[in-house]
Structure 1
Amino acid sequence: MKKFFLMILMALSLTSVLSANELFKSGVTASYYADKFHGRKTSNGEIFNMYQLTAAHKTLPFNTVLKVTNLANGKSVQVRINDRGPFVKGREIDLSKAAAVKLDMIKSGTAKVKLEIVSGKNSTSSSAKSVAKKAQNLDPNERWDIQLGAFEQKANAQQLATKLMKAGFKNVIFQNVKSKGITRVAIRNVPTDEVQGILDNLENKGFTDYFVRERAKTTNSDAK
């Protein structure tokens, strides 16, 4: 009987760990890169090893750990972000060959996946109420920030902010999160009834990586 209860406790513990992962995106396309880049430097200065469980993403901070699940077969793998990419339209993440093997996507080359943030500088707290992709069920009495990127290098944040302003978006700001050493780029202080319209406009203009979150408790500065 004691062993039975221990098994139940272990199962409950595992469930709580799995449910703690933060959903980032689902239904996006993953690809993988291998031999051609093996041994080259990644964007964070490491040497790319296609046999390690790493990945490239355009905006997530380096060392973010993601759980990637192949929606076609349910297989999952955890990878660490250490590179930038993919730069092919319609693709969200570029996995190492080892990660692609774990997901059984070598033959297909790409796969529809779900991405969950396990840990990293971009992971939000429960109080942030971040919402990926959709503006449904948002409190009509709240104000929101639409985050477009989080960067360790201010120059990269500046580049994204400039693109947003050139595309006609207003109230583009930098949010300096000193405790995490990152700079976020966001469209600030958006009323609930305007959120979906801005998201649609962002999608139409090619800005597909974003979070919707409650007004951030960070140091804001206008992008120039």
Structure 2
Amino acid sequence: MNSNNLKFKIYSFHFTIFFSILLLTFSCAGPKRAGYYKEGFTERGLASWYGKDFHGRKTANGEVYDMYKLSAAHKTLPLGVYARVTNLENGKEVKVKVNDRGPFIRGRFLDLSYGAAKELGMVEAGVAKVELEILGEVPYQTAKGKTSAGRVSSAGLFTIQVGAFVEKENAVRLKSLLENRYKDVHIVSYDTNIQKFYRVRVGAFESEKDALKVADELEAQSYTIFITVRD
């Protein structure tokens, strides 16, 4: 074997190892799904609040929104999780249940109920810099009274949201793309009274466990998704 062939084989071996490590690194660094958040996780940023325009409407987990209760909306935290929210401007804090998705305004990471915002002393200001800390999740009870990791929705079927767009054409384009591989791809419009969004969703699953199988496939394709209750 001449020296050139030996050098080529050594280079190929080293490149294979490097590529394998690189591939493993990127495969482990995918977007966070709701279930990946752990108790004690903290996040800081701007929070806003929403009130009477949404009072009585259904939230993302199927509950009816009550503006006077202590609840919150977050884009990716697991629905049903409890968190402590601290107003970093005045030190006030409140315990809330995450039961909805949002906010859909750039620069904000949390939408609080009117009741929670009042406890934090931020109703008049409208927004405040806060810290959120996950406290834990209340076990979901099935119809038979047993705790289930693959929960079943009492409000209907689960679905996977793959995107939300201001322009309907973009939602239609994504829907057409997903229909090449998945069944029951649909668009749901959502009007916040400030902005109208077109949500692209996939499937109707009887349990969260069934939805997770398809969610994993979509995440592998670099979609940022979350599982919610179908409208």
TM-score (normalizing by structure 2): 0.46
TM-score (normalizing by structure 1): 0.48
Greater C-alpha Rg? 2
